Amino acid sequence: MGRVDSESFRMMAELVASTGGTFSFDGETSVIGSEHILRIIQDMGYDPSVTAEYRDGLYGLFNVELVNPPDFDASRFMLVPNHVSDFDALVLGLLHPRVRIVSKKDWTENVRLRAFLDMHYSMYGLDRSSTNSLRGLLVDSDNFFGDPGTGGPGCKGGLDGRHYLIFSQGTISDFNANAPERVSSIASRVSDRNGIPMVCVFLEQVSFDRPTRIVFGEPFTHGKGGGFGEAWLARMRRLQDTLVPPARRPVLTRKHSSNNRPGDEFF
């Protein structure tokens, strides 16, 4: 059944419209949205309990196009994407069976949402205001890259083909307006600590009716010096500028539009 004719799709579209088209949800609407997504994928003829079929359905729903993807099977990467909606982790977490996502604790501690997430995703819940939680992230990354048994659903071990994903902006925002201070250097620390190169990932805000393009940069390292925020922003702008037609700018809530620079209301 096509998703356009699905009642679940109409309900999901109404939920997105209620956010002003931002795809930004609180805890309760995240749960409702996840339930809609599973039903939509089933309506599309896929089995949403099978990760490969769930991925095909979700990528079809959002018209995902991958541009210059690296060889995820033969390498290990720190993925450092921009962050423009609450669906970013859901889409990027399916790039490979071994992607571990650093997510806000609001998601990982939501029991109802975890029932959905644990079917297809591997996640570390981060309390962004806690130094201990940041230290825990470093330990988690050490364990992830060092333990052959660590990975997402269906992983069978082995040291290659595993990837750690960190949203360096820390929250949803448009990097075109970000000050370097908006960008955390924690991904660079994990990269240097584990000897894993970083890959910048530019993604457009998901869309039901237009391509959602995801562009991958070349692997790089930054080292222990400062300036990661400037380096990341420059790389992300270059990736964005490769797209033809030009990349879509995200639709953001007032909160996520007012968190770019020190002194902003929600920084």
123-136 pLDDT, tens digit each? 999 987 888 988 99
Give the β-pairing of 163-165 and 122-126. unpaired
Please compute, for residue 11, the number of CA atoms within 13 A of its CA located in the half-sphere on the CB side: 14
Work out the pLDDT band at 223, boundaries 50, 70, 90. confident
Report the interhelical angle of 131-146 vs 186-194 (nearest 10°): 30
E strand or H helix that includes residue 163: strand 163-165
Contact criterion met (CB below 8 Å) for 242 and 215: yes
Contact criterion met (CB below 8 Å) for 181 and 229: yes
Work out the pLDDT band at 156, boundaries 50, 70, 90. very low
Cα separation, 169 vs 40, in Å, equals 30
Work out the pLDDT band at 158, boundaries 50, 70, 90. very low
The phi, psi pair for 81, rounded to 5°, reads: -85, 165
Please say if the pLDDT value at position 19 is more than 90.
Answer: yes
Please compute, for residue 56, the number of CA atoms within 13 A of its CA located in the half-sphere on the CB side: 11
pLDDT at 45: 94
Work out the pLDDT band at 155, boundaries 50, 70, 90. very low
Please say if the pLDDT value at position 159 is more than 80.
Answer: no
Q: Which range has the worst mean pLDDT, 11-20, 29-38, 159-168?
A: 159-168
Give the pLDDT mean for 233-248. 98
Give the β-pairing of 198-203 and 212-216. antiparallel
Contact criterion met (CB below 8 Å) for 204 and 63: no
Mean pLDDT score of the chain, rounded to an integer? 92
> Who's near 61: CB < 8 A, 6+ residues apart?
3, 37, 40, 41, 44, 208
Please say if the pLDDT value at position 78 is more than 90.
Answer: yes
pLDDT at 2: 52
pLDDT at 50: 97
